[in-house]
Chains A and B, each alone.
Chain A
Amino acid sequence: MSSTDPRERTLDAERHRRASLFPAGASCEECGETDFLVLDADLSRVLCADHAAISHGREPVDRHHLAGRRWKIVLDLTANWHRVVTALQRMERGVTHGKMAELLYGIAYLILAIADYVDKYEKKVKVRARSGRREIRPD
């Protein structure tokens, strides 16, 4: 995710915005998730969307309209995933597309969300690997 395409930086900009809604270093009390996009803004108990749903006695699953209301394609996504894909969809709020383009954009957002997750995952792995290397280094 290092392209200059503004579309691909939307999640970062949204993360930046959401960061202002939390105290520094906020993370889910249950799973340690630190992505501000998926953290619930209720600070009485900081939880990610999945665990917030569980704490309210709900299944952590949201129904996602892949390509808006014109297509009747609905996917079950976890609440955290749904937050990410919705943030991407909101980027195009107010812009109208043709019906087919809307479907393709919907799929593209899903792929972008996966890419974002992978990117995040890879960065985490790298950090862990680096810290691991440091740990096994003799001095």
Chain B
Amino acid sequence: MPGLDDARYDPIEPNIASSAICSEIFVRAYAEPQLPNRRGVAPEFSPRHPRADSWFTGEFLVIDTETVRHQLTFGAYERYNHGKLIEPAIFCRDDLPTTDPDGFATLQAICRRRDVRLYLLANVFSSHIWRLRRRGGTFCFFNASYDLSRLASSWRPATAGKRRGTRFVNGFEFLRHFESAKDERGRPIVDDKGNLGTRTVEAPFVRIRRDDRHHVRYDMAAAHVLDLATLTHALTDQTYSLPLACEAFGIGFDERPGRHDGTISEDNVAGCVYDVAKTSELLFAAGREYDRHPIDLAPWRAPSAASLAKAYLRAFGVAPRSMVQPDFSKEHQGYAATAYFGGRVEDRVVREAVPCTYIDAVSMYPSVFTLLNLWSDQVIPARLEPEPLDPLEVQTFLENLQANPRCLLDRALWPHLAFFALVEPNGAHLPSRPKIPSPYLARIENGISSASHRLVSIGPLDSDVPLWFGGPDLAAAAISGPVIPRIVQAWRLRAEGVQTTLQPVNFRGEDLIDPGSCNPFQRLIELRKRDSGNKLDNDLRSTGYKTIANSGAYGCFVETTPEDINPDAPPATTRAEVWGLKPFTAVVERPERHSPLCSFPIASLVTAGARLLLATAEHLVRDAGGEVAYCDTDSLMVITRPEGGFVPCVGGPYRLGDGRRAVVALSWAQLDRILGDLAALKVYDPHIISGSSFKIEDENLDAKGNRRELWFYGTREKSYALYAVNSNGEIVLAKQSAHTIGQYRSPYPRDGERQWIAEAWIRTICEAVMQPVETPPWFELPATSQVTLTTLNLMKHYVQTSRPFDFLAVAQLAYPGMLRCCDAPRPSCLLFENLAAWLDQAWQCLGCGAAIQPHLADTELPIFKTYRRVVANLAHSFELKRLPATGEESTMGTMHGLTIPRPVRATSVEHIGKEVIVDPTDTSEDLTAEELNATEPVVYRDEVERIDVLRASVRREGINQVARAAKRVCLRTIQRFASGGNVHSPNLAAIEAALAILGAAAARRTDRDAM
């Protein structure tokens, strides 16, 4: 490299643009809504319920369906009782003999040749579905929702009921229609003249609802629905297709005959029968694995590994804090909640290729959980009492850390970091959740730009009010920046006694773990490496133990579920007691419940500990003169070269002889020494897990296992690629992220490997490094996403043309504002395979149902965003949490090379709940222009403060003015409110709306005057 030897240190002094500083921040809060207790009585802890030896001995009906244009043609089932096959059979839709007699005759002939029974669907219902619903049994599918939807004659919205409450609202009720000559009691319907009468029955056979966490609930009376796609995911934390799930559980899945097009042919029928046979094998293979876990959780109630982890905690006799200690301080839960942030994800080197080494922490969350000693100190104690700490002592502790950051390489220090402190940040590098204005889109409403992002960022923080942080975050601030926050108040939780319900459990039936004497999650990470000599057993243990340990050491303690609300019911509000920076009462439309295990102190400390572990590694890299290009929760991309040296990089602190800016790349040997230092923080038995607490990932190795030079190219958080350059100078991808771009369908048919994303990244990198690129043929096609019709809201304009759980293709507009049919125009149509046929589709708006012409009026210009734009966005998006090294506002032109954190100067703090994925039809265009999975949190506002502000605004605007704007509220009510009286919430909402109108009008007047 030219001019690399004569580099000099010449750091850029950033001049932070005032517009780049964020002023609004959000903090999480602990809330208890005033909702009726679901069980009617206060919950009590009972360790483990007795269970049968196997969950898989009853009657199981394994079903698969084949469809043409999403309508059932035929299907197959196998019926098992006590694991023994009773009957395999094929069935077809009821009207097949009349609507397609030739097809039916073909099916009859195929069944005769295969010597398998053929039934009408009516017979499957009559003989099995109604019977199992009544008497109990299990229906087993691979992707149950779709198949159940195909079995239904029709559907209707599920409603709230006395037994099921609102658990299924916004979901579906699938119905079976039939003519019956019997009444409800099974007696013949006979009229006065003795003639047999009939009645039409529309009976619901299943209710389905996909909740906010994408878990699917089923209600099938006494029967259960077991979706093997879900069960295999819960056991391994991987999402599988049927062939891959079979492979993971050691079942051979040879070449499946036929295609999935639903037409009646020998091969297609054989394919369906094959799928059912393999699903059955998978059922019992996954069943054997599930039965090994000595937990009392039924497999049809296990949507994820977190459910298994919770069941194990129950099996260990670990009582949730809310049950073992109902008087546990909610105030301190609230303080810890405000200190809760997710993992640290940021792209430091933006849109510039740099050589790197990709390192990853070994089981980050279980490691930090162990380092902080949270099992003994916070999970199993009988009582936890908040104990104040001397702020001066904490301040001194942090100053010592700053003076000697290598103290953090001493494991014995980490348990002392399990504290919380109220601090004045004073510009220290601390995490916050600022509202960052979106540079992409901004719809102006009432004179205010509504587009913004809530992101967790770490950087210089100032605040008008003191804020709470976990000890690990304060330690990270001490070693990362020049400033230490001023400690105002501090506390830690003092453990008292040990829960008496603890009991040893034979984990997976083979590894005895005593929760009283060891931390099970640390032990699981060690045990997953045990070699039993059986590869399948090793693989299943390795994935199962890892997912349970990760969920158990973190996820379980922060589980929050939004309450189901009935969309048909008039909007209702719920009062919630909220604990955050202060306790207050809020009124919310959709309250959320914390799980009984909820412990914000644990969750906050684990994630803060993970950030500290990254900060410690980063400190060692910086100490050696190096830079980190990217970090994500538990991994770092460290800028390295085999022999070290300088790497040209815009914004870097060094200037090369040729005038270019540069950063230092560590040599591989230097990085190995850092990893050696970090080995001190490894918490696992070195005889079982060798190496450091961070490991060099396989992406850094070539096919022969030798270390190779890896390059990093990233644009923003979760959007990066790692690649190597082969001997021909070609780019060979080692790892690429599919964030955002993965929302789109592949332009290639059956692109299971998503090759198109790799092509998009290679193209982006080639353009960045000035290599020639070819334009693929799919570039000008509209980029569409696949959306499943999972909720009633999504279904509302597709009632006539599709069924629940059918698929739609959803396109994006090339530019916002091209359509104005509703607030969130979103072109959609039924899913089509050949993307080139996009012009032939019946496009309509997903939100309002209006028909959409795919061209701009009177032109041939398509209105949809093309794949060209999607691929271009890979290169043109940039990290919002950070700023260019010069401190300018981040824009396409300025964001390049090494960046600096965006400062936050908090003047307003708002309390929020958990962010949940919201229905795309419920979100505004700007929020979901790029992403269909937009999220929205519950916002908690102090009701007393809100009313006071409103009252002051009414007085300021004038009672008569407000009365004129608020048409539904009488003058006397507003007068009463202004003079301090109470008004009903609908009137309050009307007054608030009136004030917003008056405010907007005033803003418009000001704008006019200014012009």
Residues in A lying within 8 Å of B, measured CB to CB: 2-4, 6, 9-10, 12-13, 16-17, 20-24, 41-45, 91, 93
- Chain B residues, Cβ within 8 Å of A45: 108, 112
Shortest CB-to-CB span from B96 to chain A, Å, is: 8
- Chain A residues, Cβ within 8 Å of B178: 20
A44, B94: Cβ atoms closer than 8 Å: no
B122, A44: Cβ atoms closer than 8 Å: no
Which among A6, A9, A20 is the interface contact of B122 at CB below 8 angstroms?
A: A20
| A13-B181, A13-B182, A13-B196 as given contacts; A44 in contact with B111, CB under 8 Å | yes
B778-812: CB near A (< 8 Å → 1, else 0) gives 00000000000000000000000000000000000
B192, A42: Cβ atoms closer than 8 Å: no
| A16-B181, A21-B119, A41-B119 as given contacts; A9 in contact with B98, CB under 8 Å | no
Residue B198 interfacial (CB < 8 Å):
yes
Residue B654 interfacial (CB < 8 Å):
no
Which among A10, A22, A43 is the interface contact of B108 at CB below 8 angstroms?
A: A43
A4, B192: Cβ atoms closer than 8 Å: yes
Q: How far is the CA of A21 from the CA of B119 in the complex (A)?
A: 8
B196, A44: Cβ atoms closer than 8 Å: no
Which among A13, A21, A43 is the interface contact of B189 at CB below 8 angstroms?
A: A13
B188, A9: Cβ atoms closer than 8 Å: yes
- Chain A residues, Cβ within 8 Å of B192: 4
Shortest CB-to-CB span from A10 to chain B, Å, is: 6
- Chain A residues, Cβ within 8 Å of B123: 21, 41
Which among A10, A13, A17, A44 is the interface contact of B118 at CB below 8 angstroms?
A: A44
Listed from nearest, the 4 A-B pairs whose CB atoms lie closest are A23-B97, A44-B111, A13-B188, A16-B181
| A9-B196, A24-B98, A45-B112 as given contacts; A17 in contact with B190, CB under 8 Å | no
- Chain A residues, Cβ within 8 Å of B193: 4
Shortest CB-to-CB span from B673 to chain A, Å, is: 73
B190, A4: Cβ atoms closer than 8 Å: yes
Q: How far is the CA of A128 from the CA of B72 in the complex (A)?
A: 41
B126, A6: Cβ atoms closer than 8 Å: no
B644-686: CB near A (< 8 Å → 1, else 0) gives 0000000000000000000000000000000000000000000
156-207 of chain B: CB within 8 A of chain A: 178-182, 186-190, 192-194, 196, 198
| A12-B181, A17-B126 as given contacts; A42 in contact with B196, CB under 8 Å | no
275-322 of chain B: CB within 8 A of chain A: none
| A16-B179, A16-B198, A44-B118 as given contacts; A23 in contact with B98, CB under 8 Å | yes
Q: How far is the CA of A93 from the CA of B187 in the complex (A)?
A: 11
Residue B414 interfacial (CB < 8 Å):
no
Interface size on B, residues (CB 8 A): 32
B847-866: CB near A (< 8 Å → 1, else 0) gives 00000000000000000000
A10, B188: Cβ atoms closer than 8 Å: yes
Q: How far is the CA of A6 from the CA of B183 in the complex (A)?
A: 11
B122, A21: Cβ atoms closer than 8 Å: yes
Shortest CB-to-CB span from B122 to chain A, Å, is: 5
| A16-B181, A17-B181 as given contacts; A6 in contact with B190, CB under 8 Å | yes
Residue B369 interfacial (CB < 8 Å):
no
Majority DSSP secondary structure for residues of A touching B: loop
B194, A22: Cβ atoms closer than 8 Å: no
A20, B198: Cβ atoms closer than 8 Å: no
Residue B248 interfacial (CB < 8 Å):
no
- Chain B residues, Cβ within 8 Å of A10: 187-188
Residue B117 interfacial (CB < 8 Å):
yes
Shortest CB-to-CB span from B473 to chain A, Å, is: 67
- Chain A residues, Cβ within 8 Å of B188: 6, 9-10, 12-13
- Chain A residues, Cβ within 8 Å of B120: 20-23, 41, 43
Q: How far is the CA of A41 from the CA of B94 in the complex (A)?
A: 13
- Chain A residues, Cβ within 8 Å of B198: 16
A3, B98: Cβ atoms closer than 8 Å: no
A and B contact pairs by CB, cutoff 8 A, 13 listed: A4-B194, A6-B187, A6-B188, A9-B194, A10-B187, A13-B187, A13-B188, A20-B120, A41-B123, A43-B111, A43-B120, A44-B111, A44-B112
Given A16-B196, A20-B120, A20-B122, 9 more A-B residue pairs with CB atoms under 8 Å apart are A2-B194, A4-B190, A12-B188, A13-B188, A16-B181, A20-B179, A41-B120, A41-B123, A44-B111
- Chain B residues, Cβ within 8 Å of A22: 120
Residue B116 interfacial (CB < 8 Å):
yes
Residue B694 interfacial (CB < 8 Å):
no
Residue among A13, A20, A45 with the highest chain B CB neighbour number at 10 A:
A13
Residue B104 interfacial (CB < 8 Å):
yes
Which among A9, A16, A24, A41 is the interface contact of B190 at CB below 8 angstroms?
A: A9
A43, B119: Cβ atoms closer than 8 Å: yes
- Chain B residues, Cβ within 8 Å of A9: 188, 190, 194, 196
Q: How far is the CA of A2 from the CA of B195 in the complex (A)?
A: 8
Shortest CB-to-CB span from B203 to chain A, Å, is: 14
B112, A12: Cβ atoms closer than 8 Å: no
B104, A23: Cβ atoms closer than 8 Å: yes
Shortest CB-to-CB span from B181 to chain A, Å, is: 4
CB-CB nearest in chain B for A18: B126
Shortest CB-to-CB span from B970 to chain A, Å, is: 62
Shortest CB-to-CB span from B266 to chain A, Å, is: 14
Q: How far is the CA of A105 from the CA of B479 in the complex (A)?
A: 91
B181, A44: Cβ atoms closer than 8 Å: no
Q: How far is the CA of A45 from the CA of B109 in the complex (A)?
A: 9
79-131 of chain B: CB within 8 A of chain A: 90, 94, 97-98, 104, 108, 111-112, 116-120, 122-123, 126-127
| A6-B187, A9-B188 as given contacts; A21 in contact with B117, CB under 8 Å | no
CB-CB nearest in chain A for B117: A42
CB-CB nearest in chain B for A3: B194
- Chain A residues, Cβ within 8 Å of B189: 13
53-101 of chain B: CB within 8 A of chain A: 90, 94, 97-98
Q: How far is the CA of A89 from the CA of B629 in the complex (A)?
A: 79
Q: How far is the CA of A43 from the CA of B118 in the complex (A)?
A: 5
- Chain B residues, Cβ within 8 Å of A12: 181, 188, 196
- Chain B residues, Cβ within 8 Å of A21: 119-120, 122-123, 126
CB-CB nearest in chain A for B114: A44
Shortest CB-to-CB span from A72 to chain B, Å, is: 28
- Chain A residues, Cβ within 8 Å of B119: 21, 41-43
Q: How far is the CA of A57 from the CA of B104 in the complex (A)?
A: 27
| A12-B188, A16-B198, A24-B97 as given contacts; A44 in contact with B180, CB under 8 Å | no
- Chain B residues, Cβ within 8 Å of A42: 117-119
Q: How far is the CA of A31 from the CA of B194 in the complex (A)?
A: 31
Q: How far is the CA of A17 from the CA of B130 in the complex (A)?
A: 14
B94, A20: Cβ atoms closer than 8 Å: yes
Shortest CB-to-CB span from A38 to chain B, Å, is: 15
- Chain A residues, Cβ within 8 Å of B182: 13, 17
Q: How far is the CA of A6 from the CA of B182 in the complex (A)?
A: 10
Residue among B90, B182, B198 with the highest chain A CB neighbour number at 10 A:
B182
B180, A17: Cβ atoms closer than 8 Å: yes
CB-CB nearest in chain B for A94: B186
Q: How far is the CA of A8 from the CA of B123 in the complex (A)?
A: 25
Shortest CB-to-CB span from B695 to chain A, Å, is: 58
- Chain A residues, Cβ within 8 Å of B98: 23-24
Q: How far is the CA of A37 from the CA of B108 in the complex (A)?
A: 21
Shortest CB-to-CB span from A27 to chain B, Å, is: 13
CB-CB nearest in chain A for B92: A43
Shortest CB-to-CB span from A123 to chain B, Å, is: 15
Q: How far is the CA of A10 from the CA of B112 in the complex (A)?
A: 33
